[in-house]
Structure formats: C-alpha cells, structure tokens
Structure 1
Amino acid sequence: MTRLLVRNAVLLTCDPARPDPFRGWFTVADDGRLAAVEPGDPPAGTTAEEVLDAGGALVGPGFVSAHSHLFTSGFRGIAMDSSLYGWLEVMLGYTAAADAEDVYWMTRHGAQDFLRNGVTTAYDFTDTGLTFESESAGVSRYGATLPETAYQHAQLRAKVDAGLRHVHSVMLAQGDVPQADTLAQLDEVVAAAATADPDLHLGLALSGTVQWADSRDAAALEVTAMRRHGLLNQPHFLETPHEVELQRSKFDWYADAGALGPDLVFGHFIQTTDEILTRAAAAGCGMSWQPMSNGRLASGVAAVPRMRELGMRVGMGLDDQSCTDVSDPFSNMRTGLALLRATHRDPAALPVRDVLEMHTRGSAEVLGIDDRVGSLRVGRYADFLVVDPRDPDTGPVWDAIGTYVLACSLRNLQQVRVGGRLVAAGSRLTDPAAGEVSGQLHERMARIRRAVDGPR
C-alpha cells in the first residue's frame, strides 16, 4: 500500500536531472522512500493511506547539515564575545561535569530541535568526555586519554530515539595512548553502531583531530582507522584565524599520511592558501561550510567560490547549536550568501539556487549519502518540508526558489516529514516525548551549572 500521496505542490526537488521548480505530485511507499515524483496531477485512481494536498505550497527536501554538534543544544548564548578556543573552553568546561545520560538528553534535545527546524539529516560530531585546554587563541589540546565509549553510545541512541537520520562521527584517543588500545575501542564503537536502525543510522565517521595534535602520528593513525573500517573523516581544519602558519603546516601531515581523497572532508577550511585548495581539490577532498558559526566566532569567510571553481564538493552545516545558536537552515543559507557576496562584491559569487542545493543535495554528496537523502528523487527517503510563503504572507512569488531561499523562514515552515511521516507541524513536534526531553535538558543543565559555577 502507498503510504502517502502529495499533490498540488510546487516542487523544488534539487534533482540535477530535471528543472526546478514545477507543479507536481509524488508518492511514498511503505518503506518511506519516494516511489514516484512527477509533474502535473496524479493519474486518476491513485490512492494512498494518507493524501496531502499541498495547496500550492512549496515543497523541498529536508535540509542536510554536513557538520553538527548536537550535544551542544543546552549551551546557546554562552561565551558570546569569544573566538573559537575561548568559546570551546567555556562550553567543554561544563560538559566535563556531564555523564553519559546527561549527554543522551543533550543530544536528543539537539536532534529534535533540528527536526523542528527542517533539518532531517545531520553529520554529528559526538562529545568525547575528554578534557580540553586552551593554551592561547590559536593553540589548544584535548587530554591524552581514551574517549568515553559510553558517551558515544548514548549519543547514537539519542539520535535514533529522536528519529533523526545521521552520520555518527567519533574521535580517536589523543596523545600517547597505544595505537592498539585506540583501534580496539574504535572496533567496539563500530560494532555498536552496526546494531542501530539502518534507516536512521546512515554511517559512522571519524572526527579528525590534527588541528589540535602535537605530532604527525595523529594523521597516520586517522588513516589507519579510516582504512580499517572504510570510514569518512571530517576534521575541523584551518578554522581559527590565530596561529595560521602553524595550522597550514599541518596540511602536509594529512598529505604525507596519504589521507587526501574523497573520504576526507575538511570542516570549515577557512585559513587556506591557493596551493592548499588546489591540492585538496585535485585529490577529490570535500569541504563543509558553516557560515553562521564562522561569523559568530569571528573565524573568517571561507573561499567557497574558489573551491567550487576547482571542482571541490562543498556542503553546508549548522555546526554547534551553541555557536550558531538558532538551528535555522534558512538563515544559514542567507548568511552564506551575504558573506560571500559582500566579500567578493559580486552576486555571482554564490547564486541563490546553488546555496539551496549546497544545503540539501550538496551536503549529502559530500558525505557520500546522496543515494538516500538530499533530494526528492525516486528511491530516496521521503524527507521533505512544506513551506508556505502565504502564511505569513511574503507577497507575490516571482520565482519559487528565490522566495524559498530569500523570503521564507522558519515561520513559513508548515510541516516537516521524515519517510513521509509527520514529525513537526509548525513548531510543534509530534514526538510524545518532546516535552520530557526539554524538561530533562533544563534539569540536567541546571545541575551541571551548579556543579561548575557553584550556587547562584
């Protein structure tokens, strides 16, 4: 039986094989995947368990965040005048007082916040439980020990329980931990992830740490781990505007270790040179761009037009919910447009259609999951948004993509559906546990704050 029929929609499919937008319809099969996507009206006699008449509203794919830290959902507004490492030191000072169950609720809160705001898939950097020390504005390091496996398992469980599709990214041990111990722990994490719901858990990945490492051995270890389990690796790299030459020197650590290639995706990648960009693009590396957090933390503006000119795959992410603060993909797109166009004094630096594709199909492509999410194409999961520019009214629709990206916002987001099933109507989540999640977060964050700051 067909699960859902959507009709009378203005479709923004982000399908490279067909022109958007067009008025059309689609069906969702019992497995939650798109069975048909066509222009016009459905054939007479087409039936489904549920029929959604979109009434001419805009319907696009759920957003894909190619770079996220869901556990940070309880820390919005902290370190509001700090750059990267100062902000990290404040936030991780609090998470050091959290246990695995705390991190579960923090992550689940972040996941349900994404779903409410139209982000249906996320690459999630998990909290490690490791200590973090900032030595200067440009130098920092994690404590030399194994990460807390219980933390990683809790965060995986939280995303599944929230119903968020995800790539689960984990950090390797830091410092002088024996390689055998590090790889044995990774084996355990891989085994645990293999038992997760395959419709929601789209893959495991590494959170590269060369940006914080003292030795080239860190890059070699990451390559060993990548090859051992066929993992994508997304390191935070060339992010902060401090100690830039030191950061740039570490690009060769990855190159010499044999890491450069399609399974290496650089997160942020701001303080680059043209030589670094050319080498990364030639090797097939990808990049994840976080314009809102890059602005909030004064990190800079990535050379996205040059990367795309060189053929590099670029996706977009919402980064930490405590340095993007509002998990709003519409604002993230517009912030990216504004930063690039103002920096280059050229509207062609990033076309509107392109930024929409970068935050949907482009993010899925850079993560290697575009066969499942990121566009409205037959065989992909039916993760989609109903966005109505008439409620509240944004005025005449001169161009559907222009209206969607430039004029619409979370206030126009009427429905979020995952696998065709409704997960949010306006700002209301359908998950009956949504209230409990919020209550747990507030209670636990208050306890953590008292433990770190003392009574207030």
Structure 2
Amino acid sequence: MSAEIDLLIRPEWIIPIEPAGTTLSGHALAVNDGNILALLPHEEAMQRFRPRRTVELPGQVVLPGLINLHTHAAMSLLRGYADDLPLMRWLSERIWPAEARHAGPDFVRAGTLLACAEMLRGGITTFNDMYFFPDAAAEAARRVGMRAVLGIVVIEFPTGYAADADDYLARGLAARDALSDDPLLSFCLAPHAPYTVADKTFDKIATLAAQLEIPVHVHLHETAHEIEESLKQHGVRPVERMRRLGLLGPQLIAAHGVHLDAGEIDLLAHEGCHVAHCPTSNLKLGSGIAPVSAMQSRGLNFGLGTDGAASNNRLDLFQEMRHAALLAKGASQNAESLDAHASLHAATLGGARALGLDERIGSLLPGKAADLCAVRLDEWLLQPCFDPASHLVYVAGREQVTHTWVNGKLVMSAGVPVQIGISELLDITGLWHTRLTS
C-alpha cells in the first residue's frame, strides 16, 4: 500500500552530492514534513508514494540548496557604493563612515531582506552572516523563509550597535537566546578579524565557543597587509596567533584564507578547521588568489562565500563556483584541480560541514532537510549538455534557477520570491539609495 506524502519532485537529473561524483537520471525525490524521505527511481516512487503535489521538471537538475559560507547580507544596500578600492581604503574611507551614519536596525532589516531575496533567486538556501543587529537580520530571513546562521559580531571599537567587545558579546548572546526556538536560525561567534579584536577578547570567544559548541567565523589571512601588521604588532602571523589563543579547531571558519602558506594549510587541516573561499571578492578588492588547489590536496575543508554585495557585487554562488574552479586550475596550472563535482561540493556540503550542519543540510540523503534548488539546463543557449554537473559550474547561471525550497517549503518559483513582492524590494532599495546619497 502506497504512503501519502507532501511532495514528489521528478527532474531530468538529480545531483545528490553524496555519494561524491554522482549524477542520477530517471529518479525522483520524495519529501514529507520538510524532510527528504527517499531518493529513488521514478517507477518505484509512483508505486510507493501518493504525493499531495507532484512537480515535473523535464530538462532540469535538482541539487541541494547552495550554502553561502561568508557574507554581510545587510551590505546589499551598499552595492556599488565603494568600488575599485583596496580593502583597507574600502573600509576606512567608504564603508565604515557609511555604516557609522546609517547602520541601525532598519538598515540591517532592509538590506538583509534584499540579500535574502537575491540569494533565494540564485538557489542559495542558507547564509552565514557577519553583521550588526542579528535580531533585525533574523526578521528578514524569517520573512522570506530562509535558513540563516547569524553572527555574534565582536569588534573592539564602538558603533551604533554596541559600545565595546563585552557589549557586542552580550547583545549577540541575548539575540541567540531570544531566537533559540526557530529551527531555521542558528548562530556563530563572529569576531571581525585579528586586526580589530584583542587577545583578551579572543580568549573569551574561545571559551564561549567551547561552552556553547558553536562555530567561530573570522576574517583570516585576507590580505598581505594584514599579515605584515600582525608580524609588527604580535611577532607572528595571524594563524599562529589564533593557534596560541586556542582558536584552531573544528569550530573555526577562516573567511578568505588568501595568504596561507603550505605549513598553515597543513596546520588548519590537521586541526579540522574550515575556510570560506570568496574568489570574486578577493579578485575585486585585489587581495589575491587563495591556494585552493593546495587546500584540496591537503584535505582542508572549504566552502564558498560571496562576501557582501558591497565588495562583490553579487550574492551569486554560481559565479563563485565558476571562479573558484577556474582560479584553482589557473593558479596551480593543473586542469584537473577543483573539478565540477568538487566545486558543487564546496558550494553545498563543504559549507554545511564548516557550519556543523552537515547532518541536516548539504546533500540529498534521506532524513536531511529538503533544502533544494532546481536549475534549467534545456535552454537553447546552454546546448548541448553532456554532463549536468559540468554544466552547472561552467555554463548555467543563477538566471536558470527555477525553484528553491527550504525545509520542504517552496520559497522561490519562476524567478520570483514567494513571500515578498518585487515592488516592495524596489521600494526598499529606492528609499535607501536616497538616504545614502543625500
């Protein structure tokens, strides 16, 4: 006797990420109560299940929802505001002054809402955020039904959000407590960077990370200048400083990791750390090219991030997959480095593992949450298609994403977010454009 279920999805292909390198055709995905119930051949699915809804997707591929491992979502309101500057001038001359004037709860709520809509449009179902007012960011993520890992941001200097490092921690932990019952929300400790956080504060963060069993998300080895300043001030490179402070371990997510040497890569891999690779932002800010081929060969887990739209200027993981693969090949002079399946792994399960969420998301195993996206590969511009995985990385883009589901719920369809109107998003951007330019 067949079982009633919520949803049956029948695409042309399914790329489950686990087992690695697998592409299935003629298979269906059964979803019930927000979870993946089974992945099985079409004929068997029709015999076993009576779906309340069936979605037929000829010419399309279904894969896990993409995971944006490093972003500053609210900074979508600063897209294009400070272009063509190196990182420290970008921060000190444009970004930090703008944030000092405008970055309150309304700014964060509006910018994160815009970012969430953009990410859902591109098949991203989870984002790891680092920004002020995480409670306001949570409101935006809830509004559109997106999964979010919110940063408990810590920095030494005062802002409109908090007065000092202890105040940042207290406010972030209070937001975590208030939102603890939401299954789509979780938290990271998010010290901004070694050059903006003192040893005393890092000691507190290491203790909290162990007590709360949550990740630590920090900018690390993003620029050569950062390393030069660390050597002057502390006598060691930032990774070594983090080691001495007890922060290296499976909880650490190092954002960027552009200037890691071979010994540091080995150390991070040995300690079970993770890297959030942000190839487009690194290129645009002139920070350099991360040694991803070496990370891959040495077993250092990495996911993909967009960084914020103020330095990218897109929250587009299809772009990041393509750039990551091409840069890895070019920098290593090895065309086999970071192949299509490895790029897809980084954009999905690699990010999930870094966040400690790989038991819940990142691949299409039964029992995991039904965080999914569907991508058209049958448009004439994309033909011919010999390998769907290769096509996703090297040919298709976010404009080919047709459906996005989070926890089994359809949150983007036909290029439009389900839970917010485009006119409202345009009103938000118009309002903040006026404020930022007046």
**TM-score, L = length of structure 2:** 0.90
After superposition, the Cα gap between the structure-2 partners of 1:410 and 1:426, relative to the gap in structure 1 and judged at 3 Å, is farther
Q: Is the CA contact 1:7–1:24 (under 8 Å) kept in the aligned structure 2?
A: yes
Q: Following the alignment from structure 1 to structure 2, what is the Cα–Cα distance between the partners of residues 45 and 251?
A: 53
Q: Is the CA contact 1:21–1:400 (under 8 Å) kept in the aligned structure 2?
A: no
1:170 aligns with 2:173: no
Q: Following the alignment from structure 1 to structure 2, what is the Cα–Cα distance between the partners of residues 188 and 45?
A: 46
Q: Following the alignment from structure 1 to structure 2, what is the Cα–Cα distance between the partners of residues 418 and 341?
A: 33
Q: Is the CA contact 2:156–2:197 (under 8 Å) kept in the aligned structure 1?
A: no
1:313 aligns with 2:301: yes
- Which of 121, 126, 130 is the aligned partner of 2:126? 121
Q: Is the CA contact 2:165–2:201 (under 8 Å) kept in the aligned structure 1?
A: no
- Residue number in structure 2 paired with 1:84: 87
Number of residue pairs the alignment of both structures matches: 423
- Residue number in structure 2 paired with 1:104: 109
- Residue number in structure 1 paired with 2:97: 93
- Which of 264, 285, 294 is the aligned partner of 2:252? 264
- Which of 14, 29, 32 is the aligned partner of 2:17? 14
Code of the aligned partner of 1:224: T
Code of the aligned partner of 1:39: P
Code of the aligned partner of 2:68: S
Q: Following the alignment from structure 1 to structure 2, what is the Cα–Cα distance between the partners of residues 354 and 430?
A: 31
Q: Is the CA contact 1:211–1:238 (under 8 Å) kept in the aligned structure 2?
A: no
Q: Secondary structure at the match of 2:405?
A: strand
Deviates more, 1:405-414 or 1:101-110: 405-414
Q: Following the alignment from structure 1 to structure 2, what is the Cα–Cα distance between the partners of residues 165 and 320?
A: 17
How do residues 4-403 of structure 1 correspond to structure 2 at under 5 angstroms? Answer: 4-16=7-19, 19-29=22-32, 31-41=33-43, 42-44=45-47, 46-89=49-92, 90-98=94-102, 99-127=104-132, 151-174=133-156, 183-195=169-181, 197-198=182-183, 200-201=184-185, 203-213=186-196, 215-247=198-230, 249-403=237-391
The sequence identity of aligned pairs, in percent, is 25
Q: Following the alignment from structure 2 to structure 1, what is the Cα–Cα distance between the partners of residues 147 and 178?
A: 17
Code of the aligned partner of 2:19: P
Q: Is the CA contact 1:392–1:412 (under 8 Å) kept in the aligned structure 2?
A: no
Alpha-carbon shift at residue 302 of structure 1 (Å): 0.9
After superposition, the Cα gap between the structure-2 partners of 1:193 and 1:7, relative to the gap in structure 1 and judged at 3 Å, is same
Unpaired segments ≥5 residues, structure 2: 231-235
Deviates more, 1:51-60 or 1:415-424: 415-424
Q: Following the alignment from structure 1 to structure 2, what is the Cα–Cα distance between the partners of residues 253 and 175?
A: 20
Q: Is the CA contact 1:75–1:322 (under 8 Å) kept in the aligned structure 2?
A: yes
Q: Following the alignment from structure 1 to structure 2, what is the Cα–Cα distance between the partners of residues 80 and 326?
A: 13
Unpaired segments ≥5 residues, structure 1: 128-150, 451-456
Alpha-carbon shift at residue 170 of structure 1 (Å): 1.7
Q: Following the alignment from structure 1 to structure 2, what is the Cα–Cα distance between the partners of residues 109 and 181?
A: 28
After superposition, the Cα gap between the structure-2 partners of 1:282 and 1:71, relative to the gap in structure 1 and judged at 3 Å, is same
Q: Is the CA contact 1:125–1:170 (under 8 Å) kept in the aligned structure 2?
A: yes
Q: Secondary structure at the match of 1:53?
A: strand
Q: Following the alignment from structure 2 to structure 1, what is the Cα–Cα distance between the partners of residues 146 and 168?
A: 28
Code of the aligned partner of 1:124: D
**TM-score, L = length of structure 1:** 0.87
Q: Is the CA contact 2:348–2:363 (under 8 Å) kept in the aligned structure 1?
A: yes
